Amino acid sequence: MRFSLISSSLLTASIVSAALLSEYNSQTSLNPNEMRLVQTASGAQWITEADKLQLKRAGKKFMDITDTEDDVQVTVNVTFPESISFAAQAAPILAKINATYMQSNLETFTSFYTRYYKSTTGAESSQWLFDTVKAIAAVNPSIKVFPFHHPWPQTSLIARIPGANAGTVDDRVVVVGAHQDSINLIFPSFFGSPGADDDGSGTVTILETFRALVTSGFAPNNTVEFHWYSAEEGGLLGSQAVFTEYAKRRIPVGAMLQQDMTGFVKKTLDSGMPESLGVITDFVHPDLTEFIKKVISAYSSIPYVETECGYACSDHASAAKVGYPSAFVIESTFKNSNPFIHSTRDTIDRLSFDHMVEHAKLTLGFVYELGFAKLA
């Protein structure tokens, strides 16, 4: 991006933040000339890191496949239930979902200057998330919480609730995911990015679902995992690394649901449309998506609306890339989603925690139903 004129306000901000810029440049491995292999809907090509950032600024969706170009493929035999079976059993846990907890966690999560995956504060926010998840899981020693390390500072995070079928041919791992990183598209290594909706909202939504389940003594038949991915904004880098490793180890992931942006409803309401959950219908597993619609109808207080988001629009694409069934639910239709993302304006005051509760209900229903279903 070229600037022929710098405003006095921007110049002042640059001077005031000079020390911060120096710190971030020293802590961040950002090489704009580094070559990366990027896959878009139209094909793969080698471009620079700077060109990759330009793609994001233009709203182009892609996967950075530099490190996973030759990933393995798996086939997992799975059958999804034809109907909802466990809503009554899940009801007491559903009642434990607490918007106040979500707000408190999101206030802390957005207090980090940026959660850019190559930054110091991105690593610090990941450590806070790890400590928070670990504290919740402490009530059940069988739950394993561990970081998934990458070449960049910020780690992905996995929390595994082992099922009664774990280690048997009947086990089908049920995964819920969100991405923990944020980005400011002007200068990712310099400007702040609170990332309240993208994807702080999804992060605390699945965190609250995890808390409600764990504190209720949830003990499923199928193994359940909660994932918080690093570097989604870099081209789904963190989730690709996770699912490529899972595919190599032949871990039988039977279903993956992504929660990316769960709290913004203003555009929907301003357009005269009813508040709803946006079920993505393109580049997803059709049978799993149909089952999720049933979960929403049974567990959520608001309806769903079908919408599309394009190729590689969030981390569910990384699961699909290696052969795992995956799906994605967003806060609204894609056209009515949050216009303030990737900037300093993606703040907590623009979000509805009541809406995030509905996403948490969906997530809990998804986990509970598939945690006890015979999927093999």
Q: State the virtual CA torsion across 95, 99, 105, 111 in degrees, nearest 10.
A: 170
Distance CA 161, CA 141 (A): 10
Helix ranges (DSSP H) in the chain: 8-16, 18-27, 49-57, 87-94, 99-109, 120-137, 202-214, 237-248, 266-270, 286-299, 316-322, 353-372
> 60-70: buried (b, 16+ CB within 10 Å) or exposed (e) per residue?
bbbbbbbebee
Q: What is the CA radius of gyration of the chain?
A: 20
Q: Which pLDDT belongs to residue 30?
A: 62
15 SS3 class: helix
pTM of the shown model = 0.92
Distance CA 127, CA 320 (A): 28
Distance CA 207, CA 162 (A): 17
Question: Quick one: which of 279, 199, 210 has its CA closest to 239?
Answer: 199
Residue ranges and CATH numbers for the domains of the chain are 72-372 (3.40.630.10)
Distance CA 50, CA 57 (A): 11
Helix ranges (DSSP H) in 182-280: 202-214, 237-248, 266-270
Tell me: cis bond preceding 199? Omega within 30 of 0 counts.
yes
Q: Which pLDDT belongs to residue 267?
A: 98
Q: Which pLDDT belongs to residue 29?
A: 53
Ranges in the chain, pLDDT < 70? 1-30
* Lookup result for tokens 């598209």: 185
Distance CA 188, CA 292 (A): 35
Q: What confidence tens digit (pLDDT) does each residue in 124-170 have?
A: 999 999 999 999 999 999 999 999 999 999 999 999 999 999 999 99
Contacts (Cβ under 8 Å, ≥6 apart) of 73: 247, 322, 323
Q: Which pLDDT belongs to residue 17?
A: 38
Residue 40 exposed, middle or buried by CB count within 10 Å (0-12, 13-18, 19+): middle
Answer yes or no: are the C-beta atoms of 367 and 93 closer than 8 Å.
Answer: no
* Lookup result for tokens 């109907």: 83
Q: Which pLDDT belongs to residue 210?
A: 98
Distance CA 239, CA 88 (A): 33
